[in-house]
């Protein structure tokens, strides 16, 4: 089985890039399951109803979110009845679900969304103990995790913590694709961050000039999405049908 995870969609230009490239990748790579992080698709923060309607027209099994889940109030209208999952370690009682189970090729595949606590600016429960709770609760052949976190150390620690208990884990949020994809000692596929789907000439998707003014002057500057040509970043996990562990992992950058 081949599972594709696509990095954070940044703005509507990133969405259009996904619409253009995703079918080609899915066909060329014989993808069975597709997961897309959509927390920045709505103008760089959150998701609108129009965004979700466009995503719904594509062959996407699960849409994961992150610290900007609630960035657009539209999401309260559809999150409970959609293929969207938000971080499972958000406070109890918030709308939506923290994981989703789908069936493909006679296998049950669970996708879990977690959020980190280091430098994220979001109050959340412990993602490590939340993962323990979910792994005891979920019954699935293959379990995959999108860990939306800032600190590389926290992501690596989570990889080792879950090694052997899940098939694969990838990091999102920093929008920069890392080159550390590998299979951990107990068989779990891992990468610190799969990158973003958004403008190439940008500061993690934002306008370069506006970003520089923020850093150079330390004055508040309204963020602005960058324009221009976009890239699509992602990762593919090849899962062994017998062991349900990763036997190959490789990056996508187009």
Question: What is the residue-wise DSSP string for 160-193?
Answer: HHHBTTBSEEEEESS----S--EE-TTS-EEES-
Task: Tell me the C-alpha to C-alpha distance, in Å, between residue 230 and each of 53, 115, 176, 204.
Answer: 21, 26, 14, 11
Strands 246-253 and 62-64: unpaired
Instruction: Please report how many Cα atoms fall inside a 13 Å half-sphere around the Cα of residue 107, on the Cβ side.
Output: 22
Chain length of the chain: 254
Catalytic residue, chosen from 68, 148, 173, 175, is 68
Q: What DSSP character marks residue 91?
A: P
What sign does the CA torsion over 79, 84, 87, 88 have?
positive
User: Does 175 qualify as catalytic in the annotation?
Assistant: no
Q: What is the C-alpha separation between 3 and 64, in angstroms, rounded?
A: 14
Buried b (16+ CB within 10 A) or exposed e, 125-146: bebeebbeebbeeeebbbbbbb
Q: What is the C-alpha separation between 244 and 187, in angstroms, rounded?
A: 9
Q: What is the C-alpha separation between 63 and 25, in angstroms, rounded?
A: 17
Instruction: Please report how many Cα atoms fall inside a 13 Å half-sphere around the Cα of residue 70, on the Cβ side.
Output: 6
Catalytic residue positions?
A: 68
């Amino acid at each position: 089985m081949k599972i594709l995870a696509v990095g954070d969609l940044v703005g509507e230009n990133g969405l259009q890039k996904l619409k253009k490239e995703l079918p080609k990748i899915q066909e060329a790579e014989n993808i069975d399951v597709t997961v897309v992080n959509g927390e920045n698709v709505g103008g760089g923060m959150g998701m609108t109803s129009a965004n979700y309607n466009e995503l719904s027209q594509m062959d996407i099994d699960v849409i994961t979110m992150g610290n900007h889940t609630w960035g657009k109030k539209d999401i309260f209208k559809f999150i409970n009845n959609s293929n969207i999952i938000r971080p499972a370690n958000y406070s109890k009682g918030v709308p939506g679900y923290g994981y989703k189970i789908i069936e493909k090729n006679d296998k049950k595949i669970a996708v879990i969304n977690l959020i980190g606590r280091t430098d994220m600016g979001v109050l959340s429960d412990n993602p490590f103990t939340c993962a323990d709770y979910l792994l005891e609760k979920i019954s699935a052949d293959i379990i995959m995790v999108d860990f939306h976190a800032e600190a590389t150390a926290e992501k690596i620690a989570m990889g080792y913590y879950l090694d052997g208990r899940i098939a694969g884990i990838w990091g999102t949020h920093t929008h920069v694709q890392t080159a550390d994809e590998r299979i951990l000692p107990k068989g779990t596929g891992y990468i610190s961050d799969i990158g973003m789907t958004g403008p190439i000439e940008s500061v993690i998707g934002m306008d370069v000039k506006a970003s520089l003014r923020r850093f150079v002057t330390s004055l508040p500057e309204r963020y602005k999405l960058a324009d221009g040509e976009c890239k699509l970043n992602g990762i593919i996990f090849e899962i062994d049908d017998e062991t349900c562990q990763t036997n190959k992992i490789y990056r996508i950058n187009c």
